Every structure is written in C-alpha cells, then in structure tokens.
Structure 1
C-alpha cells in the first residue's frame, strides 16, 4: 500500500464544511416550508413559479455534477464515492437530486480519515482540495440558479404586499447574505491556486463580500420593482438579456467543460449568472468587467425608468437608494482591485527552495494545493501527490487573475 504525505484536515475548515452542509440542509427545509406557506395562503401562481425554479436549479446542478464525475475518471474516489459507483447508484443518486450530499459526504470522509490513521493509499489532501473546488463551483451555480431568482421573488412579494411575514423577510435576508457568501467562498477557492496567500486577509474577504452584496442587491431590487409594476415584464426582460449574454459567453471561447455539449450548457449557465452578477470566464478580466458593469448600469437605469412610469404608490426612495448602492459597490470593487487583488504572476508553481516552507505549513487552509516534494540529505521527502489540480478551477483562476 502506498502511503501518501502526512495531512490533517484543518479543524477550522472542517467546521466550515459542516456549517456549509448544515446551511444547505436548512435551505432545502426552508424551501419546502415556503412552498407549503404559499400553498396555504392560496398564492398558486407564485407557488408554481417557485417550484419550477427549485426543480430547474436542482436538475442543472445535478447535470454538472454528473458530467464532472464522467470527466474525472482518473481522480481517486473516496470510500463513499467508490461504493456508490460499484453499486451502480451514481446515476440514481443524481436523479434523486443527491449529488451535493454525496460530495459533502466524500469531503467529510477525507477529513475524518485525516484525523485518524493516515496510512492510506489515497491522497487525502489532493482529494479534499479537488472536492472542495467542485463543491464551491456547484454551490455557486446553485446560488444563481435558485437563490438569486428566489430572492427576487421574495422581494417582489414584500413590495406587492407592503408587509411581509417573518419567514419571508428571513428568507430574503438569508438569500442575500448567502449569495454574497457563496461568491466569497468561490473566490477563496480560486485563491488556492496562488502560491503566495499573504493578501488573503479577513479585511480583503470582508471587502469582497461587501462589494458583491452592494452590486447584487440593487440588481435584484430593480428587477423586483419592475415585477411589482408589471410581473410579465420580468421573464420577458430575462429572455431579452439572456440570449445576448449567452452569445457573449460563446464569443469569449470558454473552455471549462471537457465535452462540446457540456461547454454549451456551461455558457448558458454563465449567461444566467451574468443576469445577476459578473463572473469571469476568459482572460482580460478588467476590460470585460468594465463593459459588463456599464451595460448593467444602463439596464438598471432603464428598469427604474419603466418602474417609475408604471408605479402606483411605492416609495420614491428606491429611485435614489438603488443607484447609490450600485455606485458604492463599484467603488468598493475598484478599491479591492487596487489594493487586494493578486496578479497572475503569482499563479505559478513554487520554486524548489520554497517547497520546504510550504511543507512546514501543511496545516494551512484546506484549499492549498499539494506541491512537489523537496529532497534533503537528512530528511526523507514525502511522496508526490497522486491527484492533479482541478483543471476547471485552474482555468477560471487564470482568467480571474489575468
């Protein structure tokens, strides 16, 4: 049996993993409670919209997870994943919408095994890093497939009723925070490909979280105001924007998936994410980001103008609060890129003399990549990693830090 390098899953990251799993379960429970609540009060139109949203979102996430399992045949499987595949249950697991739970189970397994007997032929560090990257990407997709549209629906209900129950407000606030938090976790995953992580401070993470919240919230609010004036305009507006955004993703020649069909599905998903927030998919991040935000600012102004024309008695404070929030978000984003955004030059393999320093800090964040071993006359080098870095996330990191 081949023994891999010593690895202990960091306790803080293990707690964060359990917290993420708990929040995912809580979100599912709140979704079911909200569906029951809408049914009880007779809001069957909103009930249907929400049910379709949840179903489509979950199916898309399962498809991406299934494709990644098909692509990553060379990645070592955990015991949980291996048992599911040997039993021929992998497809059924995805049909039953359990892909995220399976991946969480695999990640928790690697953590628990790292706490116990470390003599194993499985590269626990490499597998845990790979699983963390895929989970963060799936959660990002789920956030913009489900949470962002659901937040739009919740805000629309609040505006229409001009009074909201505790559950509706809690779900809206939780969804807004969850969206920004998921984007932050995705960003931290990309940072794992950087050799130097000294700039990944709590301050920069808080700044990243805040500017995303200030950009996404006014976008959702503007769409909700449009829906409060004339509900049928929101799906029409989405279709009118999704197609050009989809074409823009195609023109950027994305290379994320390992199959042609999967790549087209990914471009469609990117267009859906762009409807709410910026997402870097190709090199040239600053220029494309400027084009995107200029376009979204113009679209937001148009949405507010239409709402102002059609509104009944909604307070005019929205007319000032939404643009101010978006402008503040852009200023904080510029501040982040000026002082806390790493450069592409740091996205590279460490020099041989730096590897000893990385090994000495083996208890760093779980998303740090395994590095090549260093030979020494006195100390036996650990064996090389058996799991290659997640190439999908590495491509996105290259684009994001270009």
Structure 2
C-alpha cells in the first residue's frame, strides 16, 4: 500500500486519488437519488433536509478550499503545473487568479477542481515522468483533509438521518439502504485516506501494512457506529430536541477547541471556521488538534461522549414503544455496547502493536537540524523547498510526535499519542 519514500508518487497514490473522487461522486449521486425519492414520495420535509446536508457540506468545503487557495497562490514558488491550473490560475496579476478561483468556488466546483488537478498532476508524474512529485503530493494531502471534513459534515449526518427514518417507519426502502451503504463507504475511505496522508509525514517511514490499516479502520468505525446509533435512536422519539442537543454540545466542543489554541489556518476567520468543523467532528468522533501528550484529552472526550450517548440511549429506552421495539431492543443495545467496547480494545491494540515507530536522532548542540526532520514530505521537491503543506504537517506532528518525549528514541507508537 505504501510507495516507500514519502517524497515518491507511485501508481498507488494515483489510484487512491481516482478512487477518492469516485467515492465522492458515488456518495453525491446517492444523496441526490435519496432526495429525488423523497420528493417523488411527497416527503418534502426529508427532501429539504437531505439537500440541506449536501449544500451546507459543499459550502463548508468550498470555504476551506478557497482559504487554502488564497494562501497557496501567495507562496513565492507557487506555479501552475497542469493544464487545468494554467487555465484557471496562471496570471501575472494575483488578483486575476483570486477572481477566477472565487468564481469556481461560488459555483461549488472548488473541491472537484482540486481532484481534477491532483489526478492530472499525478498522471504527469507517474506515467509521463514530466513533473516533480511534490505538487501532486501537496494536493493529495489537502484532498484527504477535505474528505475528512466532507465525511463528518455530510456523510455521517446523512447516515444518522437514514437510520432515524428506518427506525421511525419501522421499515427500510431500497434507496435508504443504498444511502447507508454510500455513507459507510465514504466514511471508511475517509479514514483510510486520511491515515495514509498523515503517514507520509514520517521522517523515516516504515511500510504501512495491511494489518495496521485494517485495525485502524475498524476501531474508528466501531467507535463511530454506536454514537450514530445513539443519536438516531434518540431522534426517533424526540425529533425536535436533537437539534437543541446538537447545538448545545457543539457550542461546548467549540469552546474546547478554542481553549486548545488551535493553529491550523492562516487567518483568524479561517481558524474559527476550522474550530467549528472540529466541534462538528467531535460530536461523532475524536480528532486530535493539539500537540503534546493527548491521553488526558482523549480520556476526557471518551468519558464525556460515552456518558452523553448513554443518556441518549437511556432516554430512548424509557420512552420507546414496547410493542414495536421489544423484539429487537436487547440485541440492539448489546450490539451497540459490544461495538463500543471492541472499538476501544482495537484502539488500544493499534497503539500497542501497529502504530508506526520511528527513530528520531539526537543532535548535539551547535549542529544544524534538518528542516525536514519532522516534515519530510512537506518539502515537495528539491526545486521548490519553500512550497510546504504546513496544514497537514501540523496535524501529522500532533498525531505522531509527543512533545513530552525527549529527542532521541522512539517518539511515536505509544498510548500517549492516541489521537483519533
């Protein structure tokens, strides 16, 4: 699964990029199909809810993409390297670049633009050997982050909605099952692609084995599923109150993100946009945003969310309709509990046995420390050493390194760095 050196770009990376856009389009197509089915059935409320998920998520992605393009086009060595980029970005006047980019994002095409340029650039690097791999790697890092945002701002809420409707109606339509499958595929691909992207930032990268990828994917999915199930079950008996629950919890999580002094974006408004997204992700899953030992923060989060999910499930159990739910209530609750406990067990197992380990060398006083010691693949090419993807590099630094560990020795692969 790995291409070896983090600065290499292989056919595997190109395939992952192509499959990434395919899963995105499949997910989008499934959403539009679900919306159309609701419209044809006369369920205009659900029709509007599904479309609102799609449009709100798309708007958020375009805003992030726009912020990043504005920053990237100001870099000294930023130069369009593909036909698509040349048409849209090549201009002696930086204002002209921004005007074109703004128009693309207003029409909700900025995310697809990134995929098109990443595939085109990747093809030139791998097949034609015409370009350096750095720009393609840079683009795939940003795409993995945007897919993470898309999964939790659209796929996960959509999955919760479909489960709620099935529970509420006590039956499942074909299009609802397709939507659930599409959401699971989207979330699964996001987890794997994001993990691969972070792995590219290891200074001395071990091979990303299939076993570690499977375990990483499973513990994330097993921890997300009970949370989604708890929210869907609570919504089935108190639909008006789930919005209030979300807003109150989201506001508290937003304050927690602010308290951790995140520094992901290049501007104040952009940073607050990022914190709002972090709070949304936290509503469903843990996501590390700060450097240093994260065991304490992770423990606080999991304890709080387990208590919250328990309250949601307890409320549903107390107010449910016994005639409708008695035949599946016990197996369902046991399945959710087993999924959560197994997810925690696999998470501990991953950080004990599968989390990649590196050796960070000790440098004597007065020695020059290589700039790419931590962010090896942040320097895309030898020709463009200043074009570095600091966004994903900062997250990788939080994921793989602990500030409490002394220089020299294995600095990752321990429970103190448990992040997602």
| TM-score, scaled relative to structure 1 | 0.86
Counterpart check, 1:109 vs 2:112: no
Q: Is the 8 A contact 1:125 1:370 kept in 2?
A: no
2:100 is matched with which residue: 89, 92, 106? Answer: 89
Equivalent residue number for residue 198 of structure 1: 206
Q: In structure 1, what is the Cα distance between the partners aligned to 2:357 and 2:306?
A: 27
Residue-by-residue CA offset, 1:192-229 (whole Å, 9 max, x unaligned): 11023325210000000000110011110110000111
Q: In the TM superposition, what are the counterparts of 1:108-257 in structure 2 within 5 Å?
A: 108-115=119-126, 117-118=128-129, 124-198=132-206, 200-257=208-265
- Please report how far the alpha carbon of residue 306 of structure 1 lies from its aligned counterpart in structure 2 after TM superposition: 0.5
Structure 2 CA distance for partners of 1:383 and 1:186, relative to 1, 3 Å: closer
- Please report how far the alpha carbon of residue 282 of structure 1 lies from its aligned counterpart in structure 2 after TM superposition: 0.3
Q: In structure 2, what is the Cα distance between the partners aligned to 1:223 and 1:394?
A: 33
Q: In structure 1, what is the Cα distance between the partners aligned to 2:65 and 2:282?
A: 21
Runs of 5+ in structure 1 lacking a partner?
1-6, 350-354, 356-366, 373-381
Q: What secondary structure is seen at the aligned counterpart in 2 of 1:369?
A: helix
Structure 2 CA distance for partners of 1:277 and 1:19, relative to 1, 3 Å: same
Q: In structure 1, what is the Cα distance between the partners aligned to 2:227 and 2:288?
A: 18
Equivalent residue number for residue 369 of structure 1: 377
Counterpart check, 1:396 vs 2:400: no
Q: What secondary structure is seen at the aligned counterpart in 1 of 2:274?
A: helix
Equivalent residue number for residue 328 of structure 1: 342
Greater Cα offset, 276-285 or 250-259 = 276-285
Residue-by-residue CA offset, 1:1-25 (whole Å, 9 max, x unaligned): xxxxxx9741222122111112212
Equivalent residue number for residue 304 of structure 2: 295
Q: Is the 8 A contact 1:127 1:387 kept in 2?
A: no
RMSD of aligned alpha carbons: 2.4
Q: In structure 2, what is the Cα distance between the partners aligned to 1:29 and 1:347?
A: 49
Q: Is the 8 A contact 1:195 1:347 kept in 2?
A: no
Equivalent residue number for residue 351 of structure 2: 337
Q: In structure 1, what is the Cα distance between the partners aligned to 2:205 and 2:263?
A: 26
Structure 2 CA distance for partners of 1:346 and 1:213, relative to 1, 3 Å: farther
Greater Cα offset, 16-25 or 335-344 = 335-344
Q: In structure 2, what is the Cα distance between the partners aligned to 1:17 and 1:137?
A: 13
- Please report how far the alpha carbon of residue 369 of structure 1 lies from its aligned counterpart in structure 2 after TM superposition: 2.0
Q: In structure 2, what is the Cα distance between the partners aligned to 1:228 and 1:114?
A: 51
Q: In structure 1, what is the Cα distance between the partners aligned to 2:162 and 2:376?
A: 37
Q: In structure 2, what is the Cα distance between the partners aligned to 1:136 and 1:328?
A: 26
- Please report how far the alpha carbon of residue 106 of structure 1 lies from its aligned counterpart in structure 2 after TM superposition: 0.9
Equivalent residue number for residue 48 of structure 1: 48
2:295 is matched with which residue: 286, 290, 293? Answer: 286
| TM-score, scaled relative to structure 2 | 0.82
Runs of 5+ in structure 2 lacking a partner?
1-6, 364-369, 403-420
Q: In structure 2, what is the Cα distance between the partners aligned to 1:252 and 1:8?
A: 34
- Please report how far the alpha carbon of residue 112 of structure 1 lies from its aligned counterpart in structure 2 after TM superposition: 2.1
- Please report how far the alpha carbon of residue 247 of structure 1 lies from its aligned counterpart in structure 2 after TM superposition: 0.4
Greater Cα offset, 187-196 or 148-157 = 187-196
- Please report how far the alpha carbon of residue 297 of structure 1 lies from its aligned counterpart in structure 2 after TM superposition: 0.6
Q: In the TM superposition, what are the counterparts of 1:20-35 in structure 2 within 5 Å?
A: 20-35=20-35
Q: Is the 8 A contact 1:246 1:271 kept in 2?
A: yes
